[in-house]
Chain A
Amino acid sequence: MTITEILSYGFIQRALVAGSLIAVLCAVLGVFLVLRRLSLIGDGLAHVTFGSVAIALFLRINPAVVTVAAIPLVLLSSFGILKLTDKARIYGDAAIGIVSSLGIACGVLLASVAGGFNIDLFSYLFGNILAIGTGDLVLALVLFAVVLLAVFFFYYDLVAITFDEELARSSGIRTKTINTVLVLLTALTVVLAMKLVGIMLISALLILPAVTALQVAASFRATILVAALLAVGSVVVGIFGSFILNLPTGASIVMVNFVVFMLVFSGKKLRQAR
């Protein structure tokens, strides 16, 4: 089958567009999260998304809008992580762990109480990008615009708090507000990325392109640009590869990301050894 033939399928077109949009968002936010040592927040919020989806299904919300229905609870949980870190003086990783396990526990308990749902809750664990509908595509476009605009407007504040939060505060930057913006944007992106690679693999999209770009970064702006390009490339190769080889798409995208990371990392080490 030729590339043109593969591209003629509507579901492939939607997967490529939505996948690329979400990949860019994950990569851009991932650079800030990785440098702030908040990489696992994606994982934590993904687990909360699992619980939120379970609640939405338990309340018999239409499965078609389950993703949207999960958003408020995930946003609330992201606030919870910030508050636990700030007010209860719990380390960020521990706060993420608490909220994350609570999300999973809610999901499993509700699934058990409901005696199973009409749709398979556990299908959200691994996602299905090829099942993305027009509604999901529109949602991805809206989210893409919102997140990129927010990053554009808060770019310098985000860079400042990522470099050093205390130094940023001494410059009059409202670090709590900027932290909240970053976590909220991450929460929104995670909910949407759930359909792409599934809950289990979301953190790979947030972490791998950023970490790969950091190996070859020449500046902060370049890091963000390289991360976004690598992420889109991995999504495109992953979708085509999985289609041709009949493999799960989400996992294929993650594997392509990992292979790219290994290639870049090895290349850097070889260059340094010379």
Chain B
Amino acid sequence: MSLELVATSELCSSYNGAEVLHEVSFRVQQGDYLGIVGPNGSGKSTLVKTLLGLNRPTHGTVTLFGLPQDQFGDWQKIGYLPQRLKFFNPNFPATVEELVRLGLLAGKGFPKRRAKGDDAAVEETLAIMGITDIRKRLIGELSGGQQQRALLARAIVGKPELLIMDEPTTALDPETRERFYELLQLLNRERNTTVILVTHDTWSIGKYATRFLYIDKRVVFDGTFDQFCQSEEMTGFFGEHAQHIICHRH
């Protein structure tokens, strides 16, 4: 029986008095590759932040690795790649290697110091992400694709069991985006890393994700992409034409 890594129950969240999430319930099992899609303002990013404890729900519960979210402390088990860094400063003077090393902090107690095995983990991750040759370059000097790979390297260097990403490919060109998704698939298949990916890119979700969660403040659909395409309920929700366009691209 596979382990349940994430479970939400009747999750509600508000922003400036307006309800952003309404009774959102879903579960994520180990090894899942869950794509979360929905229109702008549907609460996707709020949902991700609520899972990570960055946003407090007004109602409902989040369970991570079997523990209530506020009791969960094994943050090294979760890698997070945000949509865009809130205060990202292109002049931040960290090298790619320094940035990736920050991903190892979650598992460390006080004081956080370099541990045996850190160097090997960083080396391995730089190689997997194909950024070994730019390890000494400042992140501000890199292209959008290189920056995103460095940030993904930061998220996976601690070998998390669960990887949560919020629209990570927004700034990438189609070719780089494809390579990015292939990397995620590799992690999902070879490391059994569970992936939760928020995206607008429905086509890619259909191609790579094993599950598809469509939210619009509430859960509209939860199933596989094929089920989505065949769902009469979804035809009613989207209209035949829109559903056809989404599924045809697949």
- Asked if B85 contacts A217 (CB within 8 A), the reply is no
User: How many interface contacts (CB-CB < 8 Å) are there between A and B?
Assistant: 85
Docked pose: A31 CA to B95 CA in angstroms: 16
- Asked if A165 contacts B87 (CB within 8 A), the reply is yes
**Residue numbers in A under 8 Å from B86 (CB-CB):** 164-166
**B contacts with A: majority SS:** loop
Interface-side segment among B102-110, B179-187, B200-208, B240-248: B102-110
Chain B residues engaging chain A, CB cutoff 8 angstroms: 52-54, 73, 75-76, 78, 80, 82, 85-89, 91-95, 98-99, 102-103, 105-106, 108, 110-113, 136, 138
Docked pose: A160 CA to B103 CA in angstroms: 9
Q: What's the least CB distance linking A215 to chain B, in Å?
A: 9
Docked pose: A30 CA to B205 CA in angstroms: 44
Given contacts A159-B98, A219-B95, A219-B98, whether A170 and B75 have CB atoms under 8 Å apart is yes
Closest to A152 in B: B111
8 closest Cβ pairs, A-B complex: A172-B75, A217-B93, A153-B111, A171-B106, A170-B80, A156-B112, A223-B93, A164-B85
Interface residue A35 (Cβ < 8 Å from any Cβ of B): yes
- Asked if B75 contacts A156 (CB within 8 A), the reply is no
Task: List 6 A-B residue pairs with CB atoms under 8 Å apart, sorted by A's residue number.
Answer: A35-B89, A156-B112, A163-B99, A164-B85, A170-B80, A214-B93
Docked pose: A35 CA to B93 CA in angstroms: 9
**Residue numbers in B under 8 Å from A91 (CB-CB):** none
**Residue numbers in A under 8 Å from B78 (CB-CB):** 170
Interface residue A117 (Cβ < 8 Å from any Cβ of B): no
- Asked if B92 contacts A171 (CB within 8 A), the reply is no
Q: Choose among A37, A218, A219 the residue with the greatest number of B CB atoms under 10 Å from its CB.
A: A219
Q: What's the least CB distance linking B37 to chain A, in Å?
A: 22
Closest to A220 in B: B94
Q: How many residues of A contact B (CB 8 A)?
A: 30
Q: Choose among B76, B78, B87, B88 the residue with the greatest number of A CB atoms under 10 Å from its CB.
A: B87
Q: What's the least CB distance linking B197 to chain A, in Å?
A: 16
Interface residue A169 (Cβ < 8 Å from any Cβ of B): yes
Q: Choose among B85, B89, B91 the residue with the greatest number of A CB atoms under 10 Å from its CB.
A: B89
Q: What's the least CB distance linking B6 to chain A, in Å?
A: 14
- Asked if A219 contacts B93 (CB within 8 A), the reply is yes
**Residue numbers in A under 8 Å from B75 (CB-CB):** 170-172
One of B73, B76, B85, B95 near A167 (C-beta < 8 A): B85
- Asked if B88 contacts A169 (CB within 8 A), the reply is no
Other A-B pairs beyond A164-B88, A168-B105, 20, CB < 8 Å:
A37-B87, A152-B111, A153-B111, A154-B111, A156-B105, A156-B108, A162-B92, A163-B85, A163-B99, A163-B102, A167-B82, A170-B52, A170-B80, A171-B80, A171-B102, A171-B103, A171-B105, A172-B75, A219-B136, A220-B95
Closest to A36 in B: B87
Docked pose: A219 CA to B92 CA in angstroms: 9
- Asked if A220 contacts B87 (CB within 8 A), the reply is no
Interface residue A110 (Cβ < 8 Å from any Cβ of B): no
Q: What's the least CB distance linking B81 to chain A, in Å?
A: 9
Docked pose: A155 CA to B108 CA in angstroms: 13
**Residue numbers in A under 8 Å from B136 (CB-CB):** 218-219
Q: What's the least CB distance linking B148 to chain A, in Å?
A: 14
- Asked if A164 contacts B94 (CB within 8 A), the reply is no
**Residue numbers in A under 8 Å from B99 (CB-CB):** 163
**Residue numbers in B under 8 Å from A200 (CB-CB):** none
Q: What's the least CB distance linking B55 to chain A, in Å?
A: 10
Q: What's the least CB distance linking A85 to chain B, in Å?
A: 14
Q: Choose among A152, A154, A157 the residue with the greatest number of B CB atoms under 10 Å from its CB.
A: A157
**Residue numbers in B under 8 Å from A102 (CB-CB):** none
Q: What's the least CB distance linking B193 to chain A, in Å?
A: 16
